Amino acid sequence: MANAEKTLVTVATYNEMENLPELVEQVFATVPEVDLLVIDDNSPDGTGRWCDEKSAAEPRLNCLHREGKLGLGTATIAGMKYAIEHGYRFVLNMDADFSHHPRYLPDFLAGMDPPGDPPVDVLIGSRYVPGGGVEGWGLKRHFMSRGVNLYSRWLLGLKPKDCSGAFRCYRTALLERVDFDCVRSRGYAFQEEILWHLKRAGARFAETPIVFVDRQRGSSKIDAREAILALWIIFALGVRNWTGAGP
């Protein structure tokens, strides 16, 4: 296929006009060889409209419009399915608010096929390996993030130190083995759940250090009820993991 050696960068958006134009510019300045897919959930601030206008003159940019806020998990799956259907080799997911900085993109592209080492199926931008870190968080959020990662690693048998971060590159050939209809989470638990499904599919994981910077512009989309639901979904998956129940 035409995209067989290419990487698709995916960005889910909802009201990101303060960030998206600059992000698009920096992504293409840093890794001009990639294509970029914006998955917009009908942003009232015109994010999707701007993306359509920009893509008319930029063939590397496309926008997938959805009818409303359908959840980060479903947006990420939509990007993965797009990458599979269009024959991309890798799909790299990042946030739109510069908490995931484009300067790390070359590390992801180089890290999927490291010289002298086996190919990587999922490369995670990790806050919790040497060289990684977080800027702009209070003590409570640090504690919650560390706690969720320990909880997920134990329940789901995951090896990576950062199981909840969304800055990741996936080998599309492995994603083809996942039945996305079986993915329960639509929100925060998606990041842990997809790693669990990929682990069961035989994925080889690796981590590359990133410094996560809390958003400077726009409003956070964090929802307390969704966070509680995420803990429940991870627990239910953990029961399946430990008992071997279900497909």
Three-state SS letters, 87-110:
CCCEEEEECCCCCCCHHHHHHHHH
Q: Which residues pair with 39 in a beta bridge?
A: 12, 64
DSSP E strands in the chain: the ranges are 7-13, 35-40, 61-65, 90-94, 122-126, 133-135, 168-171, 205-209, 211-213
Confidence at residue 111, expressed as pLDDT on a 0 to 100 scale: 97
Domain count, the chain: 1
Gap between the Cα atoms of 112 and 171, Å rounded? 8
Confidence at residue 137, expressed as pLDDT on a 0 to 100 scale: 86
Q: Rounding to the nearest 10 degrees, give the CA dihedral for residues 81, 87, 89, 92.
A: -40
Task: Read off the tokens for 210.
Answer: 């990133």
Gap between the Cα atoms of 217 and 17, Å rounded? 10
Confidence at residue 29, expressed as pLDDT on a 0 to 100 scale: 98
Nearest to 209 by CA among 161, 164, 173, 175: 161
Confidence at residue 236, expressed as pLDDT on a 0 to 100 scale: 80
Residue 92: CB partners within 8 Å, gap ≥ 6?
A: 7, 8, 9, 10, 34, 105, 108, 109, 168, 169, 170
Confidence at residue 223, expressed as pLDDT on a 0 to 100 scale: 60
Confidence at residue 238, expressed as pLDDT on a 0 to 100 scale: 83
Q: What are phi and psi of 39, to 5 degrees?
A: -110, 100
Ordered per-residue pLDDT tens for the chain, 247 residues:
568 789 999 999 999 999 999 999 999 999 999 999 999 999 999 999 999 999 999 999 999 999 988 888 999 999 999 999 999 999 999 999 999 999 999 999 999 999 989 999 999 999 999 999 999 888 988 988 898 899 889 999 999 999 999 999 999 999 999 999 988 887 778 999 999 999 999 999 999 999 999 866 555 555 666 667 777 788 887 887 777 765 5
Pairing of strands 133-135, 205-209: unpaired
Domain membership flag for residue 124:
yes
Domain membership flag for residue 170:
yes
Domain membership flag for residue 66:
yes
Domain membership flag for residue 1:
no
Cα–Cα distances (Å) from 142 to 38, 128, 208, 223, in that order, read: 29, 11, 19, 17
Confidence at residue 220, expressed as pLDDT on a 0 to 100 scale: 53
Are 146 and 229 in contact by the 8 Å Cβ rule? The answer is: no
Domain membership flag for residue 75:
yes
Domain membership flag for residue 100:
yes
3-state DSSP helix/strand/coil % of the chain, to nearest 5? 40, 15, 40
Are 7 and 169 in contact by the 8 Å Cβ rule? The answer is: yes
Domain membership flag for residue 154:
yes
Q: Which residues pair with 92 in a beta bridge?
A: 9, 169
Confidence at residue 239, expressed as pLDDT on a 0 to 100 scale: 80
Domain containing residue 43: CATH number: 3.90.550.10
| Containing structural domain, residue 42 | 7-243
Domain membership flag for residue 2:
no
Confidence at residue 197, expressed as pLDDT on a 0 to 100 scale: 93
Helix (H, G, I), strand (E, B) or coil at 189: coil
